[in-house]
Amino acid sequence: MSWPALSIVVPCYNEAACLDILHARVSAAARAAVGDDYELVFINDGSRDDSWPAMQRIAAVDPHLVAINLSRNHGHQLALTAGLDLCAGQQVLIIDADLQDPPELLADMRRAMVEQQADVVYAVRRKREGETFFKKATAAAFYRVLDRVTDTPIPLDTGDFRLMSRRALDAFLSLPEQARFIRGMVAWVGFRQVPFPYDRAERHAGETHYPLGKMVRLAFDAVTGFSTAPLRWASHLGLALTGVSLLLIVYIAAGWLSGTAVAGWTSTMLVTVAIGAAQFFVLGMIGEYLGRLYIESKRRPLYLVADVAGPVQGTATLGF
Ligand code: UDP
Ligand code: MG
């Protein structure tokens, strides 16, 4: 088994239109950085377009490429996990397939890693081109809420685009959870992590695979994975409502004693509705955690690999 100086890991879902140019640009960046001593790990996350045939075609002519075909669409974070499991580099660059993150920054990120003696150089988005106002606004709000509620400081405006040392990666790979919010998990690992500001480009082709629903799910994974604050809020809310109902009991008793009790339909309805809503809110919160606990307790493999093209060196459990 050989350990290349650099692995570049790219999760791909319906990215056939990007793959050739992606391959050219990451290869050039890798070659400029470490000469011939690199590998590319492309993960086909159950694409419904021609991404897998395209990867096989490239793997047939480029011995640097390890192409992995997952058994179905497992989602971005698990596809990325598969690639990180399977890569063998001493340094690992994580990058999106759509070229929103310029591979040419690799040289500067490697320099930052050496100069600042860091184990993780994470790219921070200064500008985001070609994304809707809604996406940018929700992303900005999400990162700020996350920062408020989580116990692990997770850097703001940071995606998964980052350069990691082998020791940071190995530490990361020791985290077994199913609900994966990778940038948070990397932050949790610690060591020295430094920011690297850059301008995010437009997608090379195609459209985002992170519609609102998936973003909300990632946000829930992020919050519940790194914080039990919502459970605390739930109990605080319960406590506050108990206080309010105690006051109400006094008020109701006083009304009864003074004989002015009947005309109370509005307030009764308000209280019923408010308490009902609060109960659903609290129950839902508990349910979010309970559901995740259930999923974790099944200890299923995080992903399954269907096919591999190219020389595999890492440690992943292959599903065949
Ligand atoms: N991706 C994936 N599986 C999915 C969705 C996305 O592997 O189920 C990949 C996608 O091909 C891309 C990266 O994850 O390389 C980021 O996705 P996208 O560009 O759609 O997200 P955005 O940049 O819009 O947040
Ligand atoms: Mg993208």
Q: Is there an atom of ligand 1 within 6 Å of 45 CB?
A: yes
Instruction: Please give the pLDDT value at position 313.
Output: 60
Instruction: Please give the pLDDT value at position 47.
Output: 94
Instruction: Please give the pLDDT value at position 87.
Output: 92
By the 8 A CB rule, do 149 and 230 touch?
yes
By the 8 A CB rule, do 81 and 180 touch?
yes
Q: ipTM score of the complex?
A: 0.93
Q: Is there an atom of ligand 1 within 6 Å of 46 CB?
A: no
CA of 131 to the centre of ligand 2 (A): 9
Q: Which atom of ligand 1 is nearest to the CA of 13?
A: 11
Q: What is the residue with the minimal CA distance to atom 17 of ligand 1?
A: 209
Instruction: Work out the number of other CB atoms within 10 angstroms of the CB of residue 269.
Output: 10
Give the C-alpha separation, 198 to 128, whole Å. Answer: 9
DSSP structure class, residue 9:
E
Q: Is there an atom of ligand 1 within 6 Å of 125 CB?
A: no
Give the C-alpha separation, 314 to 2, whole Å. Answer: 10
Q: What is the CA radius of gyration of the chain?
A: 25
Q: Is there an atom of ligand 1 within 6 Å of 83 CB?
A: no
Angle at 160 between CA 157 and CA 163, to 5 degrees: 110
Question: Who surrounds ion ligand 2 at CB < 5 A?
Answer: 96, 98, 100
Instruction: Please give the pLDDT value at position 320.
Output: 43
Give the C-alpha separation, 59 to 299, whole Å. Answer: 33
For the CA of 135, the nearest ligand = 1
Q: Is there an atom of ligand 1 within 6 Å of 119 CB?
A: no
Instruction: Please give the pLDDT value at position 319.
Output: 47
Please choose, from the candidates 248, 242, 119, 255, the residue with its C-alpha nearest in 3D space to the C-alpha of residue 191. Answer: 119
Q: What is the residue with the minimal CA distance to atom 3 of ligand 1?
A: 76
- Number of residues in the chain: 320
Distances (CA, A) of 92 to 3, 142, 147, 209, 230: 11, 27, 26, 24, 34
Instruction: Please give the pLDDT value at position 27.
Output: 96
Q: Is there an atom of ligand 1 within 6 Å of 210 CB?
A: yes
Q: What is the mean pLDDT of each run of 10 residues along the chain (320 residues)?
A: 87 93 95 93 94 93 93 92 92 93 93 93 81 80 78 78 94 86 86 88 75 80 77 78 80 80 72 78 79 78 83 56
For the CA of 97, the nearest ligand = 1
Give the C-alpha separation, 22 to 95, whole Å. Answer: 10
Q: Is there an atom of ligand 1 within 6 Å of 303 CB?
A: no
Q: What pTM did the predictor assign? A: 0.73
